[in-house]
Amino acid sequence: MSEPPAAAPPQQAPRKASRARVITMMILGGIALAIGGCALFLANVSFNTGNMDLLSGLGAVGFVAGVLSFIGGILWAVARLIDRRFDKAKGKIG
């Protein structure tokens, strides 16, 4: 008879991503989404007839979402930088 396999050691819970990593992914993802949305819009829009099909509308929405994500990431990074500066200053005074 063969022995049953040994139990695997318990896995650790996954670590939460740092705020800096989340902000960086938000900024870079926003840029990528904006470029992709712009390319999709420009590839499918017909300037001569003035008609917009579904893909060009989807590209426009993707572009706007990417720009908003980029701006949100920049604002979040600035707010985090200011918050860290105030915390550092408070620690030195108090």
Task: Please spell the DSSP secondary structure of 62-92, one letter per residue.
Answer: HHHHHHHHHHHHHHHHHHHHHHHHHHHHHHH
Q: What single letter denotes the amino acid at residue 19?
A: R
pLDDT in tens, the chain (94 residues): 677 777 777 788 788 878 889 999 999 999 999 999 999 988 888 777 766 788 888 999 999 999 999 999 999 999 999 998 888 888 765 4
Who's near 55: CB < 8 A, 6+ residues apart? 40, 43, 44
Q: Where along the chain do its domains lie?
A: 19-93
Question: What pLDDT sits at residue 17?
Answer: 78
The overall pTM is greater than 0.85: no
Question: What pLDDT sits at residue 92?
Answer: 60
Q: Copy the structure tokens of residue 16.
A: 């939460």
